[in-house]
A and B are shown apart, each in its own frame.
Chain A
């Protein structure tokens, strides 16, 4: 086979990929995690690398897991609302600081406030992959049995919260 055919084959491969990609809408695929156990993880805490934090922290309770990073404008947008949620004690929020660097992230929490019970520091993004994150911010609602009940991609707002999260949380809390 001639080496001059290689570019053609490489391109055909790419086209095949695009055709499949076009038939999917990335923002509408339900997370495969929905209804499944939340991926377990234990990572160094953002504040103290020697302390491990992770999925064990929210075992047995209804909790939010929020994936964020300082390079993500949407995270900044929703941060104010997360602060409000934390102030209202609505649901404990567990942060996963994703593909970020520690000083920036700490600075961010100092400046904008810290709504998180704990913040896990996922420097190489491996836990983010387990959670199926393809961008930040993403927010997961986890029930008492550790099942992922809901996933929200894009910044969280009061409106989305009232519409998508509150009914679910009432149901989960009421089911005792």
Chain B
């Protein structure tokens, strides 16, 4: 009964989404206040019914109702309750439902915080969001209904994919979706502005905080995903250039470009048509990401749903949404260009360069992800593009971006006298270069041009980001403090610096070896000795494991003890690697069991990963910067 209620609630939500998508848009067109007022109430109604539907599915999981096909396929009795709940979005159908839930929550939030906006404008924004909801609800109900029942009820379920039985992956998709879906708000703002035919600086001011919130969730989501891959895939890598990762990285790059271009549009009224195009692209790439993952058009470890029918539906939906947006863009954008000028050395120029490099980066990822597909389509053979290609290609836009970042954030709007900039920045620049040259040799005993450039870039960004907060902190009494939005920018950029430093050091000085190890044996890596003390059996609620106890010593002193495991999940019978990681701020020591080679002998992968934590820390600090920026007073009194 409960699943039927969930199903029914979803149908009511669809009806309400239709109201929300159609009536306010007609109302805004005719200037009919009654029709426009439908927007908020129908959005709230839709949200309530989606919550009911989502709760019903969750209930089915918690109760292990295996008469529901989706539950039977992705849960089992012995699954811990936390994972029964996270299993709701552990596969295609449920993750769509989660997407819809998040989308309607965003819409309610937009309704709540847009009361000071012109009523036609907010009606249009909510209307566009309603139409997007209609698309996703139809998709779910027609092709991916999670509430379908089974005729024959199995005694136990098929279990959740063991890869997903992990706290990191329990919260990674929701965060990612909050980010993806959040860009739909920026998208809706862009469409509404184009429908109104009026895009002024106020528009940018309204759009900015929403975009930043979406961006910061996406940042955290991606960082968590990377961290999860690091410790759960047993490989020690933190980024694989897997199509699914790329699918989340492209909207991130575009979203980052959008945030920066919005700043120009708000402050100077420039880049308007460009900002619109970015807002459309960021969301389109989010949709495209979903399409790539869900359709199975690119085969990958992540793509759990490979079903062409779904692929065609998403493609059609994607086509309608994006073609509609781009046609509107082609009609409206030419009216928007403004010609306020700016000098070559000015913040505008730096932000323009930022945008260019970020878009190039997104284009590279796009090319690398889709080129194999294109070759296939044209029938000219198949190619494969692997991590080495991406790593090299990404340097091209990212290196200049990193170097320019430190200068750009100190440049003034309109025109910046070069002398002042030079005087302000020369000391940080010199320190950065000095550290860049010295650090690799001193700390890691090896040097290289690229490493030095990377370290210098990281330090340079960090120091440059600290300049303004430092001055603000040391200011004389009575001087104005830094506005939150400027502080947020400094913090986020500091995070970028940490991130750059982390990537540089870990890719240059990462050590990994694969060894055969027997109990009692030891290996030496990067001055640490790893001794396999014992191998023992361990047991979890739904798996059995072999656990190694490894003692790590440095100069005889015990540094830590880790317990890498090789787990076999009982229902799906597959083996999972649970790495043993001894984490420190300046290095991770990573041990993963490979294959059993003989009695008490295992192949073991031991890795030394210096500064790897900086990568995720950097990403979290970027997100924190976004959080500080949106707490600026300007946005709270938005109108």
Contact = CB atoms under 8 A, between A and B. Distances in A.
A18 B235 contact: no
Contacts of B311: 22
A111 B330 CA distance: 59
A26 B381 CA distance: 11
Contact of A107 (B329, B372, B383, B513): B513
Given A8-B330, A17-B373, A134-B372, A112 B384 contact: no
Contacts of A136: 384
A22 B382 contact: no
Interface string A1-34: 0101101100110110111111110110000000
B198 to A, nearest CB: 17
Contact of A26 (B322, B376, B514): B376
A161 interface: no
B382 A17 contact: no
A132 B329 contact: no
Nearest to A7: B326
B334 A4 contact: yes
Interface string A39-71: 000000000000000000000000000000101
B326 A18 contact: no
Contact of B514 (A69, A111, A129, A134): A111
B330 A132 contact: no
Nearest to A123: B388
A5 B327 CA distance: 7
A168 interface: no
A128 interface: yes
Contacts of A71: 386-388
B273 interface: yes
B166 interface: no
A22 B384 contact: no
Interface string B496-524: 00000000000000000111100000000
A135 interface: yes
Interface-central residue, B370, B377, B387, by most chain A CB under 10 Å: B377
Interface string A100-125: 01000001100110000000000001
B80 to A, nearest CB: 27
A80 interface: yes
Interface-central residue, A2, A8, A101, by most chain B CB under 10 Å: A8
Contacts of B323: 8, 11-12, 15
Given A22-B311, A69-B386, A129 B329 contact: no
Contacts of B233: 73
Given A2-B330, A4-B329, A22-B308, A27 B381 contact: no
Q: How large is the interface on A (under 10, 10 to 19, 20 to 34, 35 or more residues)?
A: 35 or more
Interface in B365-410: 370, 372-374, 376-377, 381-384, 386-389
A5 B330 contact: yes
A7 B329 contact: yes
Interface string B300-339: 0000000010011001001100110011011001100000
Interface string B259-299: 00000000000000100010011001000000100010111
B295 to A, nearest CB: 6
A160 B374 CA distance: 30
B416 interface: no
Contacts of B376: 21, 24, 26, 134
Contacts of B529: none
A133 B326 contact: no
Contacts of B516: 111
Contacts of B235: 73
Contact of A15 (B277, B319, B513, B594): B319
Main SS class of interface, B:
helix
A4 B330 contact: yes
Contacts of B330: 2, 4-5, 7-8
Contacts of A80: 595
B85 to A, nearest CB: 29
Contact of B315 (A8, A19, A108, A112): A19
A24 B374 CA distance: 12
A15 to B, nearest CB: 5
Interface-central residue, A4, A20, A24, A135, by most chain B CB under 10 Å: A4
B603 interface: yes
A2 B273 CA distance: 13
Interface in B547-600: 594-595
B147 to A, nearest CB: 27
Interface-central residue, B298, B330, B516, by most chain A CB under 10 Å: B330
B297 A21 contact: yes
A4 B384 contact: no
Given A11-B322, A15-B315, A112-B514, A26 B377 contact: no
Contacts of A18: 291, 297, 315
A22 B377 CA distance: 9
Given A17-B374, A111-B515, A99 B382 contact: no
Contacts of A73: 233, 235
A94 to B, nearest CB: 19
A26 B386 contact: no
Given A11-B326, A17-B373, A99 B386 contact: yes
Given A11-B322, A73-B235, A129-B381, A111 B299 contact: no
B515 to A, nearest CB: 7
A135 B295 CA distance: 19
A27 to B, nearest CB: 6
Interface-central residue, B322, B372, B382, B513, by most chain A CB under 10 Å: B382
A24 B514 CA distance: 39
Interface-central residue, A21, A73, A125, A132, by most chain B CB under 10 Å: A21
Contacts of B312: 22
A26 B299 contact: yes
A71 B236 CA distance: 11
Nearest to B301: A73
Given A21-B376, A71-B388, A2 B381 contact: no
A72 B515 CA distance: 18
Interface in A148-162: none
Nearest to B295: A22
B95 to A, nearest CB: 20
Contacts of A7: 277, 280-281, 326, 329-330
Interface of B: 233, 235, 273, 277, 280-281, 284, 291, 295, 297-299, 308, 311-312, 315, 318-319, 322-323, 326-327, 329-330, 333-334, 370, 372-374, 376-377, 381-384, 386-389, 513-516, 594-595, 603
11 contacts: A15-B318, A15-B319, A18-B297, A18-B315, A21-B377, A22-B311, A26-B376, A73-B233, A99-B386, A111-B513, A111-B603
The 5 A-B residue pairs with the shortest CB-CB distance, nearest first, are: A134-B382, A8-B326, A111-B514, A20-B377, A4-B333
Interface of A: 2, 4-5, 7-8, 11-12, 14-15, 17-24, 26-27, 69, 71, 73, 76, 80, 99, 101, 107-108, 111-112, 125, 128-129, 132-136
Given A19-B315, A111-B516, 16 more contacts: A2-B334, A8-B329, A14-B370, A17-B373, A17-B377, A18-B297, A21-B376, A26-B299, A71-B388, A73-B233, A99-B386, A111-B603, A125-B384, A129-B381, A133-B384, A135-B384
